[in-house]
Amino acid sequence: MENPRNLLALVFALPMLISGCYYDNEEELYGPGCDLTDITYNTGIKPIIQANCQSSACHGTNGSNGELVTYEQLNAVVADGSFRNAVIVTKRMPDGGALSTCELDRIELWLDAGAPNN
C-alpha cells in the first residue's frame, strides 16, 4: 500500500498545480493595444481633435481660442510648430485633461510623416 503522507500531499498539491496553469490573455486583461500602423488624419487624428479640442470654450466652431475644426485650420498651427509644442513638447494641451500615451504617439507619428491630409 502507498504511503498515506504521499497520497495526502498529492491531494493538496494537485489543485495548486492545476490552478497554476491558467493562461491570461493580455488583450482581454488590458484591452486592445495601441495600433500605430497606418495613422491617417481622418481615422487617427481627427477623432482625437474632435474629442479633446473642439468644445466651444476652446477650438470648436466659433471657439474662443480659434477653430481647429477643419484640416486646413489644424494644418496652420501644425505648420508654425505651435501644435507640436503645445501637445507633444510641453503637453499643456488639451486644456483640462491629458491625452493618453497612445494618442500622443499617434499624433507624433502623423506629425513626423508631414501631417498629411489623408
Q: What is the pLDDT of residues 16-65, one digit of tens each?
A: 666 655 556 555 655 568 989 989 999 999 999 999 988 877 887 877 77
The residue type at 31: G
Per DSSP, 66 falls in state -
Determine the Cα–Cα distance for residues 68 and 85; give it in Å rounded to an integer. Answer: 16
Q: What's the pTM? A: 0.70
**Residue 115: pLDDT band with limits 50, 70, 90:** very high
What's the number of CA atoms in the CB half-sphere (13 Å) around residue 52?
Answer: 19
- Percentage of the residues of the chain whose pLDDT score is greater than 90: 49
- State the chain's maximal CA–CA distance in angstroms: 88
Per DSSP, 38 falls in state S
The residue type at 53: C
Spell out the domain ranges in the chain: 41-112
What's the number of CA atoms in the CB half-sphere (13 Å) around residue 47?
Answer: 7
